[in-house]
Structure 1
Amino acid sequence: MSKTVDAAREDFGTVSAGRANPALFQKVLVDYYGSPTPLAQLAGLQNPEARVLIVTPYDKAALKDIERAIVNMPNLSANVGNDGEIVRVTLPELTEDRRKEFVKIVRGKGEDAKVALRNIRRRSKDELDALKGEIGDDELSRAEKELEAITRTHVDAVDEALKRKEAELLEV
């Protein structure tokens, strides 16, 4: 469940809040000599200004591929250009409508994380039910209550991360 919460936080980080953040590009895969390669393995990411990110490829031959992968990112709508050495990504100022759209996206990601947590709880509950004849009813009841408490803690952690990201997105 902790891994699910961590994955949700990473997912929230991939949604732009109007500031250029290298975390936005964590999941970008570049077609590098025919194989999808994470951008972080192909280039250095620098953030010189609030809305500008500079991508410096380690291999200059990959410059066009990196630019293409960034341009094809969903939900980015950034100005992307290269000068033969680096790729410069400039994020536009977010409008109110775009901020609300990003909040919806983040809420969807949060709900997906909660569904994953509930699926883990259901599988664990099934495993506990399979042990019904082997352990006592008191042990089973205690384990179920503990499972519910753990699930509630992790769902609350996702909610807290979601609330922080929503506040960040709506901040002007």
Structure 2
Amino acid sequence: MDERIAKYQDKMEKTLANLDSEFGTIRAGRANPHVLDRITVDYYGAPTPLQQVANISVPEARMIQIQPWEASMVKVIEKAINMSDLGINPTNDGKVIRLVFPELTEERRKELVKDVKKKGEAAKVAVRNIRRDANDMLKKLGKGDVSEDEISELEDKVQKMTDKYIKKVDEAVEVKSKEILTV
């Protein structure tokens, strides 16, 4: 890989990784502890990720169990979950918080698939913008002492790289959509 276009490949890779992490926060009928990744709690005055103040486990297919390391955190964690956009009411027994995920309705599944496709489309736009930036950089190189043939060859590599990452985005969208639609 030419070092002049390697940084653009890194950017495309980061776009794909970002899409994967976004997909991890979309619940698909099964309990997935990654839906809690964006939840922060007030821990001694500082916003702290939930994973840093509690053990999170999945004892059953549709249940997440959160066991705070300090009993005083139960109410704080429960409040943070209620304020999030999870749409799930936590239950607690004073020591452990449980999130029970209801079975997704067909309508909700279709909404989630639409959301997945929208996020996939945004990732493809980001990849294409990275391609545009790479091609702009190559045009500037063309005004210097780099031959037209070399520029053309690099542009072809950038296009192949773009096609590869667009295909990966499409595959990720397909996998997540199937996961959501599987009852």
Normalising by the residue count of structure 1, what TM-score does the alignment of the two structures yield?
0.93
For structure 2, the residue ranges without an aligned partner over 5 or more in a row are: 1-11
| 2:72 alignment partner AA | A
- Identity percentage over the alignment? 47
| 2:59 alignment partner AA | P
Q: Find out whether 1:66 has 2:48 as its counterpart.
A: no
1:105 corresponding residue in structure 2: 115
| 1:126 alignment partner AA | D
Kindly provide the CA deviation profile for residues 124-172 of structure 1, in whole angstroms up to 9, marking residues without a partner as x: 1111111112210001001011001111111111110110100011111
In structure 1, which of residues 23, 39, 44 is the aligned counterpart of residue 50 of structure 2?
Answer: 39
| 1:103 alignment partner AA | V
Give runs of aligned pairs for residues 47-66 of structure 1, distance below 5 A.
47-66=58-77
CA contact (8 A) 1:79 1:91 kept: no
More displaced stretch, 84-93 vs 107-116:
107-116
What is the total number of aligned residue pairs between the two structures? Answer: 171
Whole-angstrom CA distance in 2 between matches of 1:145 and 1:101:
38
RMSD after superposition? 1.3
2:135 corresponding residue in structure 1: 125
2:181 corresponding residue in structure 1: 170
Kindly provide the CA deviation profile for residues 51-86 of structure 1, in whole angstroms up to 9, marking residues without a partner as x: 100011122222222112222222x22231111111
Kindly provide the CA deviation profile for residues 91-120 of structure 1, in whole angstroms up to 9, marking residues without a partner as x: 111001111111111112112211221221
SS at match of 1:123: helix
In structure 1, which of residues 133, 148, 154 is the aligned counterpart of residue 165 of structure 2?
Answer: 154
CA contact (8 A) 1:79 1:92 kept: no
Displacement of 1:33 in angstroms is 2.8
Whole-angstrom CA distance in 1 between matches of 2:130 and 2:146:
21
Whole-angstrom CA distance in 2 between matches of 1:59 and 1:108:
39
2:102 corresponding residue in structure 1: 92
SS at match of 1:79: coil
CA contact (8 A) 1:45 1:53 kept: yes
Normalising by the residue count of structure 2, what TM-score does the alignment of the two structures yield?
0.88
